[in-house]
Each structure stands twice: as C-alpha cells, then as structure tokens.
Amino acid sequence: MGAVIVGTGSCLPDRVLSNHDLEEIVETNDEWIRSRTGISTRRISSRGEETFRLASVAAERALEMAGIRADELDLIIVATMSSHMSMPSCACFVQKELGASRAFAYDINAACSGFLYGLDLVDKYLCADREKKILLIGAETLSSRTNWKDRNTCILFGDGAGAVVMEYRDTSRGVVASNLFSDGNLWNLLYMHSAPSCNPDLTQPDNPGTHILMEGREVFKYAVKAMQSAIVELLAREKLDIASIDLMIPHQANIRILNKLVSRLGIAQEKVFINVQKYGNTSAASIPIALDEANREGRLKPDDVLLVCSFGGGFTWGATLLRW
C-alpha cells in the first residue's frame, strides 16, 4: 500500500442533452430510456471542448486540491478512447495545456475500464519510485463516437473528464489491491472501428469517422457476471467481506446493471455512489468523475474502504480496493 489519491477534480461540458431532446433525434421516449438505463440527461461537448480540454480542466482542479503545481508532475496518464487525434496522445496535449514541463505523458486505452487499469499502473510506478507525483485522468467525448441515428446506443453515452493526483505515502492508505481481466475473444459485442490498420493497395484511405457498436443484451449479461466475480474473488483474497466496504464506486454504465450487481453482492444501496442519471455512460471518465463528486460531497472519510469496479469493450473488467 502507499499509492494515495491526494487530489480529485472533474469537468463536465455545460451543454445538457435530455431524453426529451433525444426524442427529437431518434424514435425513443423519456420513459423507455429512464426505465431501461436510469439515464435522464448527459453532457455534450461544444465546439472547442475537445477531450484534452476537459481533461486539462479536471486536472487543474485535482492539482489545486492536492496543492501541487503542474511543473512538479513527473508523469501524466490519460485513459481514453476518444482523443481528438491518434497522435500525439491526449496526455501530451494535457501536458502542454498545464505547462507540466517535467512530466512524460502517454495514453492508455482499456475502454470503460481505462481508469481502473490506470490506477493499477500508477500503484506500480509509485511502489517502484516513491518520489514520483502522478496525474491520472479518465476523459472521453463519446458524442463524437456515437451514431446519432442508432437508438440502441446514442441514448447511453456522454462526455466528461475526471482526474486524480497520486503520491506515495508511508501509510496503510492508498491502493490496496486490484483484480483485472480482459477477454479479447468477446471483442465483437462492444466495439468501435478506427482508420484501417492495413492498406495493401497503397491507396489514399477514406476515413469516414467511427462510432460505437454494441450487442446490448449480451453486454448486460457479461457485465453483471464479470464484475460480480472480480469483486467476490478480490474480497476473498484480501480477507474482507462486503460489509467492510464503506463506499462502492462502480463504472456508471446503466442503472439496471448496477442494481443487479448490488443485489447479487448484498451491499447496502446507500453505500453505492450513483450519478448515471445525470451524465450517462462517460466510459473511462465515469469512475474519476464519481470519485470527485463523492469526495467534494464529503462522502469519503479517512481510512474508508472503497470498492471500485468497471466493465467495458475488449472485454475489459475488474475491481480495485482503496483505503481513502
């Protein structure tokens, strides 16, 4: 233990897209969306609110809380699958925006599990080098990766960013343990194309853009089962029971997935942080946004045991325990 979160921040675009607004775009209705997903509104980036800009504002807020200057950072990692460029990385743009001149910077992509994978990575960096100051961000603008004619998917996603600043502290606080998984065999149940990665005819390829495709029912079934088993295994390994969790912060995919998971785990509903109704599924950003809201609302007390879990395209999934 020792990789401690010393500051949190988040940034949501101002523009709110309600279910009623969606009724104007596709054949759907507020009642259907709320009953199937729990989502009422989501945030949508306006022009100029690229992924790195949301990420940078979230980062500034986290740095301010941590009392750390950007030029003291050693490393910036951004979990995203919706950077405005494939190269340079979103993290390099964040480094430039912040003026984090000493930091090296790169992105990771584990879809909705990106932030959880990032926590594991930062934990390992900090255990190897206790002097490092690290910024970990989850940031997405999935409105740019959504097919706005597909009512199966366009109702689900939203834009936003969340950030944490992490340092090593010689205490029992910090990342306790992670239990992470991937199964690439199931890639075709939830995916997003990109520009082709081979061009044997040496032609100038068209890049018509890209969007998320999903088999919703299958994703639903796997998500509940996979997160449940990752959590049960992790708790058993750490000799903890579900009653010892003070707050669970799950990836905010969908209220029905969360309700099923919560009832199977037997955790009290009031110990589960939920904001999916406001922001929809913001993929890699959902956990750090929720963490920041929980923190600023005073829901996190020193030494609280937090359970964080996620599921996303890949498939990727897992669970992490933190002592606050």
**Catalytic residue positions?**
112, 251, 281
Of the pair 127, 192, the CB lying nearest ligand COA is at 192
Q: Which residues bind ligand COA (CB under 6 A)?
A: 28, 32-33, 36-37, 112, 151-152, 155, 214, 216-217, 219-220, 223, 253-254, 256-257, 281, 311-312
What sign results for the dihedral spanned by CA atoms 65, 71, 77, 81? positive
Q: How far is the CB of 112 from ligand COA (least distance, A)?
A: 4
Of the pair 134, 253, the CB lying nearest ligand COA is at 253
Give 285: exposed, middle or buried? Use CB within 10 Å, 0-12, 13-18, 19+: buried
Q: How far is the CB of 228 from ligand COA (least distance, A)?
A: 15
- Burial annotation 128-145 (CB, 10 A radius, 16+ → b, else e): eeeebbbbbbbbbbbbbb
Of the pair 219, 267, the CB lying nearest ligand COA is at 219
Q: How far is the CB of 171 from ligand COA (least distance, A)?
A: 33
Strand (E) or helix (H) holding 124:
helix 114-128
Q: Give the strand pairing for 104-108 and 75-79.
A: parallel
Please, what is the angle between helix 286-296 and helix 51-66, to 10°?
30
- DSSP letter, residue 71: G
Which residue number has the CB closest to ligand COA? 216
Q: Which amino acid is at 97?
A: E
Smallest CA-to-CA distance from 40 within 24, 21, 25, 27 is with 21
Q: How far is the CB of 205 from ligand COA (least distance, A)?
A: 29
Of the pair 88, 216, the CB lying nearest ligand COA is at 216
Of the pair 219, 309, the CB lying nearest ligand COA is at 219
Q: How far is the CB of 154 from ligand COA (least distance, A)?
A: 8
Residue 68 neighbours by CB distance under 10 Å: 17
Helix (H/G/I), strand (E/B), else coil: 18: strand
Provide Rg for the chain, Cα atoms: 19
Q: How far is the CB of 210 from ligand COA (least distance, A)?
A: 16
Smallest CA-to-CA distance from 129 within 3, 277, 250 is with 3
Of the pair 155, 308, the CB lying nearest ligand COA is at 155
